[in-house]
Structure formats: C-alpha cells, structure tokens
C-alpha cells in the first residue's frame, strides 16, 4: 500500500468544495452517476472503434444503500481505472479526465455524449461523506485498485481483489448527511436528476405482476416476480428522431415529464440542431391556467440527459418560459451568473433559435389547419401576444398567424382585418379605426350600435391588450384602436350620410346638459347622442380612448 498527498494545493480546495463549490449538497449523486455514465459510454465507444476487447454485455449502473454500515454505493461496469489512472484522474484535483478523453477522441468523443467537464465532480462526494473508497478494475488487464481518502489531502492506494470490470464508489456518509441513507430521499434525487440518463440505473428491486397462466383458476392470485428496479428511461423522446415519433409518443412523454399534469398539451415543438451549437429538446404549449406565476411544471434544462435545472431564465426568451418541456444542450455554460448567461454568444443564438422554431411551428399549424388553430387561439394567445410585445423578430413572424377575433367569433389576421374594414372604418385623416370590445355584457349596447353601422368589433380581452394595441399602432401604418364605448363614432366617416339623431338640436343640448350634470364636471366621460337609430339606448356615454388606455396601462405596468 502506498500513501500520498493529493496534488494541486488541495489544502485550499477541500474546504472550498465543502462550502462553496455547490450550495446544493444533493448534487453529489448526480456527479457520481455522471461519472459512472461517462465511464460506461467511454467503454462503449472504445469497443465500437475496436480499442477495447471486452464483452460489453448490457452495462448498468447500480445505487445501493447500506443503512447499517452508513454507506452509499455507486457501482458501474464501465471503463474502470488502473493505478496510474487513479493517481492521474482522482489525485489531481481539478484535472478533468473527461476533457482529456475528449481531446484525444475529439469529435468521436463528442458523439459519445460524455458529461463531465468540471474536473471537480468526484470531489463533491466529500460534501456528504467523511470517507470515500474507490474500488476499480480497468477494462485492460491492469490490477484492480483500492483508493481511500477521508477528506484530508492524504489518501491511500493499494491493490484490490475486485474481479469485475468497472468502478464501485463507496461513500461513508457523514453524520450531518444521513438523509442520504434514506431510500425515499435517494429515490427522489434519482427521479430529479437521473430520470433520463443514457445508461440504465438500478435501485433495488420491484415486484412485477405476471400474466396468469391459461389454466389458472379465477381465485388464483396472479404470479409475481422480483425484477431490477430501473429508475430511468435511457432513451427519452427528445433523443429520438421526430420522424420516429407519433403524436401519442409526444403526449406520453409529456406525462412522463409531468406525471401530475392531467391536461394534455396543445401541441409540441421538437428542437434539433447541431450547428453552430448543439441543442435538442421538445417544447409543449400547455393549456395555461390563471396561475401562471405559480406554475411549477416548467421547462427543464439537461446536459447530455443529466438534469441541470428548471430555471431556464436567460436561456429561453421570457415569453416562452410559460411553455413546458425539455431542452438539452451541452453548450450552455453552467455555474455562471444569469447576467453572464444573457451576454453569452452561444446562449443568445440558442434563445433566438428557439424563438424562431416556435414561430415556425405556430405558422405551420395555422397554415395546415386554420380551423383547429382558431379553436386553440384562446389558450395560446397570451404567450403569442406577450412574445409580440417583447421580441421584435417574433412580432414580425407572428404577423402572419396572430388572430384578431370579432365579438361574433370570426377570426381575422391583421391584414384580413385591414382589408375588411378599409372602406367603412376610416377617419378624416384616412386612418383605419379598429373597434374593439373588452366585455360583451357591459358594452353590449355600444357593440350593437357599432355593428348597426356595419363596423367590425373585435373582442380583445387579454390582460396586456392595451400594450399590444400600442405596439400595433406604432408598427403598422395608419391605424388606431378604439374601444366601442370610446369617443370614436363622430370621428369615423360615414360613407352615406345618415340621420343620426331623431331629436332636435335643442332637445339634444338639454338632454346632454342633464346627463353631464349627473356625471360631474371632472369626469372624462362624454355624452353622445348619435347611435340612436340603431340602438335601444337614447344616448351613449363614452370615454376618450387615450384616457382609458392610460389608466389601463398604469394598472398593468410598462410594456
Ligand atoms: P470530470 O467528470 O469533470 O472529468 P470528476 O472529478 O467527476 O471530473 O472525475 C475526474 C475523473 O476521474 C474523470 O474524468 C474520470 O477520468 C475519473 N473517474 C471518475 N469516476 C470514474 C468512474 N466511475 N469510472 C472511471 N473513471 C472515473
Ligand atoms: Mg464528473
């Protein structure tokens, strides 16, 4: 047995690891399973290029709790390490073997999907363990090795009698971390971080019910057998080709991601790009409920099938954080601040790629089946309208599929709407005046009056509608929006002069004076006598569009 000191000024690094490396102690398991996965994928890769001569079998990773011994085991059947390799890869902290492997096998290594690149992952185990043993046997005929370290820079290394290929990491769980000896806690972590990792992960066994034999009697219980409990799905939908997946596959994957979601997603978008960055994933448009802010089923970020976070702020444009699903990209820098993320070139490209794909998908849904798109409009409009407000590129794209429904349920695109109203709804400056209602009940008589004149009345009731109209008014030429109860009617030019009121000038003045007296002097409301021929109301009370919109925008906050 030899002993030695771990390299690279470890005296300084260990306390750092313990305290600051990861504020989340639980990620040690993710790191160890990532290493086990890397070791397995490396071996597979070497076998595939003929550089390792082993019976690969169907390699698995196993997690075992030894509650009495207060130990947690992570076992793989991967590449293993020789004594020299342990010295090199484990003892030299902050020397990432994954990076060296990648360098050596360059692009081929990239395809193999190797995970590690921090060089400190293994040492995160000391956040929860006060001693760590490694038993490992290389896939070559080098002797098996046992390495042991109690968290101080001193370690021991000796021959081991291990005969199976691969590595077993044994964590002697520290007193303050005994939660990691609980089956429930470990299962929770495996579910969170490892649910879609590419190598099967076994955690205990489960009882499987078998079909009854043909000749079984009614009262005979179905036979059962104990099988390995594999906690992950090594080939999740996003790693497959879109052409190999059906609509039902996508729905099934949604349920796999969000087992507590009973509502089906409205549609999905499969992301798949490998240049100039790597990104795969599937996004879903969920049926949104009111409770957007508290939405906990969020987009999950993975790297090579390892869960990283469900906070994708800065990576996905804000308006798309209302979507659900998965994105997987090894090109997103981790452990950096959000502001750094937003400034990062690759991340910017990723964000605009996602925006474009979402726009393209919406466009094709609209083109391929407009009727169905119209049916979904109410469920998706918040996201689209928010996107139109916040991303100029998306605004331009959305112009072809954003819909403007009327109070009678006709859905126009913006250009269809312009075409429809251009003859009738212009003011004296030739501006198109687009009328809308925000509440059918309370604005009923105004709506009827406007319809009576042959005007189209849109139904615009989303919370950000005032901002959206402002945006359209500044982006489109010569249009303005006015709510049906605004002071627009006298500004619209009637094609044919119609007798508006049946009262005489004098009667109008008197009636107007009386109503205004009731409204009070400071009111921004106005009394209009004009819509009488087409409505049951003797007069209308209106409010200038700009006054009301200002109030509304103050309520919903800035653009
Ligand atoms: P990284 O994974 O970023 O390279 P780690 O600290 O997690 O850094 O691991 C350091 C190195 O130790 C790995 O690159 C690998 O060479 C080696 N190693 C760790 N765990 C295993 C394992 N289970 N099997 C084989 N080699 C391993
Ligand atoms: Mg690692």
Give the model confidence (pLDDT) of 308-360 as tens digits. Answer: 888 888 889 999 988 999 999 988 876 666 677 777 888 889 999 999 999 99
159 C-alpha to ligand 1 centroid (Å): 19
Yes or no: say if 430 and 436 are a contact pair by the CB < 8 Å rule.
no
- Please report which confidence band the pLDDT of residue 559 belongs to, taking 50, 70 and 90 as the band edges: very low
Range of lowest pLDDT (227-241, 259-273, 297-311, 500-514):
500-514
Proximal ligand: closest to the CA of 119: 1
Q: Residue 105: its pLDDT value, please?
A: 59
Of residues 533 and 92, more confidence is placed in 92
| 36 in contact with ligand 1, CB cutoff 6 A | yes
| 90 in contact with ligand 1, CB cutoff 6 A | yes
Name the burial class of residue 196, with classes exposed (0-12), middle (13-18) and buried (19+) by CB atoms within 10 angstroms of its CB.
Answer: buried
Residue 118 has pLDDT above 80, yes or no: no
Of residues 270 and 276, more confidence is placed in 270
Q: Residue 117: its pLDDT value, please?
A: 46
Residue 233 has pLDDT above 50, yes or no: yes
Q: Report the distance separating Cα 318 and Cα 295, nearest Å.
A: 14
Alpha-carbon torsion (67, 68, 70, 75), positive or negative: negative
306-309 and 411-412 beta bridge pairing: unpaired
32 C-alpha to ligand 2 centroid (Å): 7
Residue with CA nearest ligand 1 atom 14: 97
| 121 in contact with ligand 1, CB cutoff 6 A | yes
Q: Residue 12: its pLDDT value, please?
A: 47
Please, which residues have CB within 8 angstroms of residue 410's CB and are 6 or more apart in sequence? none
Range of lowest pLDDT (53-57, 340-344, 483-487, 491-495):
491-495
pLDDT tens, residue by residue, 239-271: 999 999 999 999 999 999 998 888 899 999 999
Q: Kindly provide the residue ranges of all beta strands, DSSP E only, lying in 177-328, ordered along the sequence.
A: 201-209, 224-230, 267-273, 279-285, 300-303, 306-309, 324-328
Closest CA to 129 of 241, 14, 5: 14
Residue 103 has pLDDT above 70, yes or no: no
Q: Residue 262: its pLDDT value, please?
A: 80
Residue 15 has pLDDT above 60, yes or no: no
Helices (H) and strands (E) in the chain, counts: 15, 21
Q: Residue 292: its pLDDT value, please?
A: 56
Proximal ligand: closest to the CA of 39: 1
Q: Residue 106: its pLDDT value, please?
A: 59
Percent of residues, the chain, with pLDDT higher than 90: 52
Q: Which residue has the tokens 């996003």?
A: 238
Q: Which two tokens stand for residue 278?
A: 């790597």
Residue with CA nearest ligand 1 atom 19: 35
Residue 499 has pLDDT above 50, yes or no: no
Average pLDDT taken over every residue of the chain: 85
Residue 171 has pLDDT above 60, yes or no: yes
Alpha-carbon torsion (545, 551, 555, 559), positive or negative: positive
Residue with CA nearest ligand 1 atom 9: 122
Mean pLDDT to the nearest integer, 85-98: 73
Q: Residue 401: its pLDDT value, please?
A: 97
| 486 in contact with ligand 1, CB cutoff 6 A | no
| 79 in contact with ligand 1, CB cutoff 6 A | yes
- Please report which confidence band the pLDDT of residue 523 belongs to, taking 50, 70 and 90 as the band edges: low
Name the burial class of residue 19, with classes exposed (0-12), middle (13-18) and buried (19+) by CB atoms within 10 angstroms of its CB.
Answer: exposed
Of residues 403 and 461, more confidence is placed in 403
Name the burial class of residue 171, with classes exposed (0-12), middle (13-18) and buried (19+) by CB atoms within 10 angstroms of its CB.
Answer: buried
Residue with CA nearest ligand 1 atom 12: 89
Mean pLDDT to the nearest integer, 504-514: 78
Mean pLDDT to the nearest integer, 210-233: 90
Residue 452 has pLDDT above 60, yes or no: yes
Residue 40 has pLDDT above 50, yes or no: yes
Q: What is the ipTM of this complex?
A: 0.99
Q: Report the distance separating Cα 506 and Cα 151, nearest Å.
A: 97
| 86 in contact with ligand 1, CB cutoff 6 A | no
- Please report which confidence band the pLDDT of residue 82 belongs to, taking 50, 70 and 90 as the band edges: very high
Percent of residues, the chain, with pLDDT higher than 70: 83
Probe residue for ligand 1, chosen from 6, 8, 13, 35 as the CB with the greatest number of ligand atoms within 8 Å = 35
Range of lowest pLDDT (111-125, 153-167, 379-393):
111-125
Q: Residue 530: its pLDDT value, please?
A: 57
| 269 in contact with ligand 1, CB cutoff 6 A | no
Residues in the chain: 559
Mean pLDDT to the nearest integer, 466-494: 83
Three-state DSSP class for residue 275:
coil
| 35 in contact with ligand 1, CB cutoff 6 A | yes
Residue 99 has pLDDT above 80, yes or no: no
80 C-alpha to ligand 1 centroid (Å): 10
Mean pLDDT to the nearest integer, 463-473: 89
Residue 522 has pLDDT above 70, yes or no: no
168 C-alpha to ligand 2 centroid (Å): 15
Four-point Cα dihedral 283, 285, 287, 290, nearest 10:
90
| 167 in contact with ligand 1, CB cutoff 6 A | yes
| 265 in contact with ligand 1, CB cutoff 6 A | no
| 76 in contact with ligand 1, CB cutoff 6 A | yes
Probe residue for ligand 1, chosen from 80, 104, 116 as the CB with the greatest number of ligand atoms within 8 Å = 116
Model pTM score:
0.81
Please, which residues have CB within 8 angstroms of residue 19's CB and are 6 or more apart in sequence? none
Residue 492 has pLDDT above 80, yes or no: no
Q: Residue 93: its pLDDT value, please?
A: 60
| 40 in contact with ligand 1, CB cutoff 6 A | no
Q: Which atom of ligand 1 is nearest to the CA of 80?
A: 25
């Amino acid at each position: 047995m030899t002993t030695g000191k771990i390299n690279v000024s470890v005296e300084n690094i260990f306390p750092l690891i313990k305290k600051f490396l990861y504020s989340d102690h639980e990620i040690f398991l993710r790191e160890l399973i990532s290493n086990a996965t890397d070791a397995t994928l490396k071996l597979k890769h070497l076998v595939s290029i003929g550089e390792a001569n082993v019976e690969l079998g169907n390699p698995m990773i196993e997690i075992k709790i030894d509650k009495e011994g207060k130990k947690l085991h992570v076992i793989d059947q991967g590449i293993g390490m020789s004594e020299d390799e342990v010295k090199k890869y484990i003892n030299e902290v902050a020397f990432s073997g994954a990076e060296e492997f990648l360098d050596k096998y360059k692009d081929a290594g990239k395809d193999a999907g190797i995970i590690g690149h921090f060089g400190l992952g293994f040492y995160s185990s000391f956040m929860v363990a006060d001693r760590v043993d490694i038993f490992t046997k290389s896939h070559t005929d080098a002797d098996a090795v046992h390495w042991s370290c109690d968290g101080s820079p001193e370690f021991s290394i000796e021959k081991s009698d291990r005969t199976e290929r691969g590595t077993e990491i044994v964590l002697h769980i520290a007193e303050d971390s005994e939660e990691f000896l609980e089956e429930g806690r470990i299962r929770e972590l495996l579910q969170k971080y490892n649910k879609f990792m590419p190598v099967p992960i076994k955690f205990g066994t489960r009882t499987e019910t078998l079909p009854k034999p043909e000749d079984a009697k009614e009262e005979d219980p179905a036979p059962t057998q104990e099988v390995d409990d594999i906690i992950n799905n090594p080939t999740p939908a996003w790693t497959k080709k879109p052409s190999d997946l059906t609509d039902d596959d996508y729905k099934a994957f949604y349920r796999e991601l969000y087992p507590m979601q009973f509502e089906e997603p409205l549609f999905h978008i499969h992301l798949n790009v490998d240049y100039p960055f790597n990104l795969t994933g599937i996004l879903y448009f969920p049926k949104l409920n009111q409770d957007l802010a508290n939405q906990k089923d969020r987009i999950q970020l993975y790297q090579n099938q390892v869960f990283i976070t469900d906070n994708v702020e800065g990576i996905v444009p804000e308006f798309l954080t209302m979507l659900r699903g998965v994105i997987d990209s090894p090109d997103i820098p981790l452990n950096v601040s959000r502001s750094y993320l937003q400034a990062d070139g690759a991340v910017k490209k990723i964000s605009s790629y996602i925006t474009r794909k979402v726009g393209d998908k919406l466009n094709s849904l609209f083109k391929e089946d407009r009727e169905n798109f119209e049916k979904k409009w109410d469920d998706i409009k918040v996201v689209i309208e928010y996107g139109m407000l916040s991303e100029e590129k998306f605004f331009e794209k959305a112009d072809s599929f954003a819909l403007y429904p009327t109070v009678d349920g006709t859905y126009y695109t913006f250009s269809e709407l312009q075409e429809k109203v251009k003859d009738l709804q212009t003011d004296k400056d030739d501006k198109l005046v687009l009328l809308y209602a925000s509440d059918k009940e309370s604005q009923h008589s105004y709506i009827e009056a406007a319809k009576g004149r042959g005007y189209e009345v849109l139904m615009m009731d989303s919370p950000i509608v005032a901002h959206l109209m402002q945006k359209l008014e500044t982006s489109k030429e010569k249009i303005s929006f006015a709510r049906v109860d605004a002071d627009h009617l006298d500004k619209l030019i009637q094609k044919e002069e119609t007798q508006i009121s049946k009262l005489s000038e004098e009667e109008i003045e008197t009636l107007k004076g009386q109503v205004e007296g009731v409204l009070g002097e400071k009111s921004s409301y106005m009394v209009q006598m004009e819509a009488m021929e087409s409505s049951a109301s003797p007069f209308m009370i209106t409010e200038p569009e700009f006054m009301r919109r200002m109030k509304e925008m103050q309520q919903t906050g800035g653009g």
